[in-house]
Amino acid sequence: MIFGYLCEFINNDKSMNQNIKRIRKILAGLVLITAAAGFTSCEKYQWAPVKVDPEVVIFFQKDIQPIFTANCASCHGATKAPDLRDGKSYAALTKGAFISLPGESSKLYLKMEGADHAPRSSSVDKQTVLNWINQGAKNN
């Protein structure tokens, strides 16, 4: 359709200069539209919520403990409950009633989402923990 339009301009008997100006305008318009579309899709991508497929099975030792070890265990050791060190965390979380269903209202997830703790883990980490709880918080 755009090419048909361009050909019409070229074929009618106006001076070639005028045609070239029009074609330039059309091309500039197309560039602007493409750029605008690009920016819009960038923005959408940036603000899209992080999704960790809830169907993917989360394993405590492989997926969850490394989150605690990297982000939490420096504070949550022997003296600050829950003890999130490797080998201690599962018992501490279950005994302390930090885990409950639905995961969204569990103490552990609410704390990770809460204003003071939110910067201490990534959104992927939070989602991974949430999915693990909702899959039954197994010691797998």
Residues of the shown chain interacting with ligand HEC in the complex, contacts defined by CB under 6 A: 71-72, 74-76, 80-82, 98, 107-108, 111-112, 116-117, 120-121
In angstroms, give the least distance from the CB of 87 to ligand HEC.
Answer: 16
Give 55 or 116: the residue with its C-beta nearer to ligand HEC.
Answer: 116
| 118 contact partners, CB below 8 Å, separation of at least 6 | 112
In angstroms, give the least distance from the CB of 120 to ligand HEC.
Answer: 4
Give 18 or 74: the residue with its C-beta nearer to ligand HEC.
Answer: 74
Cα 39-44-47 angle, rounded to 5 deg: 125
Give 98 or 132: the residue with its C-beta nearer to ligand HEC.
Answer: 98
In angstroms, give the least distance from the CB of 72 to ligand HEC.
Answer: 3
Residue whose token pair is 């960038």: 42
In angstroms, give the least distance from the CB of 129 to ligand HEC.
Answer: 7
Amino acid at 64: I
The candidate with the shortest Cα–Cα distance to 110, out of 121, 119, 98, 122, is: 98
- Integer Cα distance of 104 and 108 in angstroms: 9
Give 88 or 117: the residue with its C-beta nearer to ligand HEC.
Answer: 117
CA atoms within 13 Å, Cβ hemisphere of 110? 10
